[in-house]
Amino acid sequence: MTVTAPQTNAAACILRDPCRTSTDPTVCTRLCPHFIAVHGASGTGGRVAAAAIPADYRQVTVANSVARAEQAKAYAIVDAYVATFDRMFSDGPDADRIKSLYLYSREPGTGKTTTAAAIANTYLVRHYIGSLQRNRRPLERPVYFLDVNEWQTLFNRITLSVGDGAKKSVSDEFQRRMDNAMYAPFAVIDDVGVRSATEAFRSYMHAVINHRVTNRLPTVYTSNVPIEELAQVFDARLADRVWDQCAVVPFVGESKRGMRR
Ligand SMILES: Nc1ncnc2c1ncn2[C@@H]1O[C@H](COP(=O)(O)OP(=O)(O)OP(=O)(O)O)[C@@H](O)[C@H]1O
Ligand SMILES: [Mg+2]
C-alpha cells in the first residue's frame, strides 16, 4: 500500500525555520493564516511577492545560502548585521539605526545577489514575526528588491513602446518600482553600479538613493563597481553619502555561476 505524505507547505514557506508548528502537518498547511499572509492564498502572492525578490532567490536565507561557506568573511559581517534587525522596532537615536551594506566584487557570480536576497528575506521574516509579537499589523511591503537591470530595461521600453496605452502601462510599472524602492523601510538595490546607464535613467536612480540616504532607510546595495568609483556613476555628493552610511562587504574568488546549487 502506498502511503501518501501529508500535503504541507513546509519546504515552501519562508517562516519554516522560526515557526514552531512547521513540523506538524496538521497545522502547517496552505490554510495557515501566516502562510497566506506571507505567500498569499495562491502561494505566489502576499508579502513575499510584494517584496519582488527574484524567484531564484526567494527561499534563500542567511543560514542556508550557498555562498556562505565560500564567503566566510563576508558572512561574519552579514551575521552581525542581521543581528541588528530588532532595531526596526525601536525608536532609538540615530546611532541605533540599522546601517546599510555595500556587497562588492569586481568579479561577477560571487554570490552578492544571493546574499542580498538572503538578507532581505531575513528582514521580512523578522518584521513579520516581530510585529505580531508586538501586537502590530505587519506592513504589506516592509522590504523591496529593486533589480536595477530590469528597471533600466523598463525605462528603455517606455521610449520604444508604440501607442499611448502601451507607453502608459510600461511607465506606470517603472514608476511603481521606483516608489517601492524609495519608500520601503528596507530595500535591496541590486547592481547599483550599472555603467551603461544613460543620464536620464541615472537621474531616477539618483532620486531613489537620495531619498533613502536622506531618510536613513537601510539599503543593501550589490555592485561590481568599487564604492570609491561610485562618484563616476552618480555625482560625488551622493556617492559620498552612500559611502558614509555603508559598510563595504567584499566578496572574493571567481564566478560560481553555472555551478550546481
Ligand atoms: N559559493 C557558491 N557555491 C555555489 N553556487 C554559488 C556560490 N555563490 C554563488 N553561487 C551561484 O552562482 C550564481 C550567481 O550568484 P549571484 O547571482 O548571487 O552572483 P552575483 O555576485 O550577484 O553576480 P553578478 O556580479 O554577476 O551580479 C547563482 O546561481 C548562485 O546560486
Ligand atoms: Mg548580482
User: Which atom of ligand 1 is nearest to 256's Cα?
Assistant: 12
Q: Are residues 142 and 61 in the same domain?
A: yes
Residue 75 host element (H or E): helix 72-82
Q: Could you tell me the strand order of the sheet in which 219-223 lies?
A: 143-147, 186-190, 219-223, 100-104, 246-250
- In this structure, the residues whose C-beta lies within 6 A of any atom of ligand 1 are 66-67, 70, 108-114, 191, 222, 224, 256-257, 259, 261
192 and 91 in a common domain: yes
Does 258 reside within a domain? no
Say whether both 102 and 138 belong to one domain.
yes
Judgement on whether residues 192 and 76 belong to the same structural domain of the protein: yes
Ligand nearest, relative to CA of residue 108: 1
pTM: 0.93
Spacing, Cα 195 to ligand 1 middle (Å): 20
Give the chain's domain count.
2
* 257 alpha carbon – ligand 1 mean position (Å): 5
Range of the domain at 11: 1-44
pLDDT of residue 93: 66
Looking at the fold, whether 108 and 12 belong to one and the same domain comes out as: no
Closest to 148 (Cα-Cα) out of 235, 215, 221 = 221
Question: What pLDDT, in 10s, does the model give residues 115-129?
Answer: 999 999 999 999 999
pLDDT 10s digits, 232-260:
888 888 888 888 889 999 999 999 988 75
Q: pLDDT > 70: what percent of the chain?
A: 93
The answer to whether residue 255 sits within a structural domain is: no
Among all chains, which residue has been given the C-alpha cell 497566506? 36
* Whether residue 173 sits in one domain with residue 127: yes
Ligand nearest to the CA of 67: 1
Distance between CA 154 and CA 161 in Å, rounded? 10
Q: What is the pLDDT of residues 17-71, one digit of tens each?
A: 888 877 888 888 889 999 999 999 988 899 999 999 999 898 899 999 999 999 9
Q: Which residues contact 15 (CB under 8 A, 6 or more apart)?
A: 22, 34, 35, 38, 125, 128, 129
- The domain that holds 174 is classified in CATH as 3.40.50.300
Do 34 and 160 belong together in one domain? no
**Any domain includes 257:** no
- Same domain, residue pair 229 and 132: yes
Whole-number Å distance, alpha carbon 233 to ligand 2 midpoint, is 17
The ligand 1 atom at the shortest distance from the C-alpha of residue 68 is 1
Smallest-distance ligand from the CA of 225: 1
Give the model's pLDDT for residue 241.
Answer: 84
pLDDT over 60 at 10, yes or no: no
Ligand 1 atom at minimal distance to the Cα of residue 69: 1
Average pLDDT, the chain: 89
